[in-house]
A = this chain, B = another copy of it.
Amino acid sequence: MARKGGTRERVYEYVRKRILEGTPPTVREVQRELGFRAVQSAQEHLDALVASGRLEKVGRVSRGYRLPGSNGTASFVPLLGSVQAGELSEAIENLDAYVAVDHDFGDRRGFALRVRGDSMIDAGILPGDIVIVCEQPDAENGEVVVALVDDEATVKRLRVRNGRVELHPENRSYPVIVPAGPLRILGRVVEVRRYLESDIRPT
């Protein structure tokens, strides 16, 4: 294999590795890692990486280097085992299970929900799967949503037919749900996850 790139590249690799590990390095840690005898050498490489857009930094604070873009800035959303009626914010309180997501929800909040039942199995959503949900009060036709049906959160595909909102399961064994009154939508499913090993599954 060809020899690894120059010093600039090694600085970038090290900083990225540290950021990914959760602790961005200080300037002097970069200096020591790369074997520089002057702080300034590390500083200039970092400045150059920031100038070229490969790194970002926040003000004059320690360990202030980040990876640009939405990537690299992982956030966590609370995992709800099940959502009964009532306020969603109450269900989110006092949770200590979180799952990492690598995109943000803009102004809205996000949460995760464990799927019960096999009503969406034809859409590749199996019992026990975890859906990442963007909290919002309405949704478009065809989107997979989390809605409150009989005081319990359920995952279904939303269809608008003849001006009426319907919740379609993706399993021929289940009937289409036509809400009598107004439908309470908790959010829109943006991601589906399945953990195949018990020891890495969130509690």
Contacts and interface: CB of A to CB of B under 8 A. Distances in A.
Interface of A: 1, 20-24, 26, 58, 62-63, 66, 71-76, 90, 96-103, 121, 124-126, 129, 143-144, 189-197, 200, 202
Contacts of A189: 196
Nearest to A76: B20
A143 to B, nearest CB: 8
Contact of A101 (B22, B100, B125, B126): B100
Nearest to A63: B63
B200 A196 contact: no
Contact of A191 (B63, B74, B143, B200): B200
B193 A192 contact: yes
A139 B97 CA distance: 29
Contacts of A200: 103, 190-191
Contacts of A71: 76, 96-98, 202
A197 B193 CA distance: 14
B20 A98 contact: yes
Interface-central residue, A73, A74, A75, A90, by most chain B CB under 10 Å: A74
Contact of A124 (B100, B101, B125, B197): B125
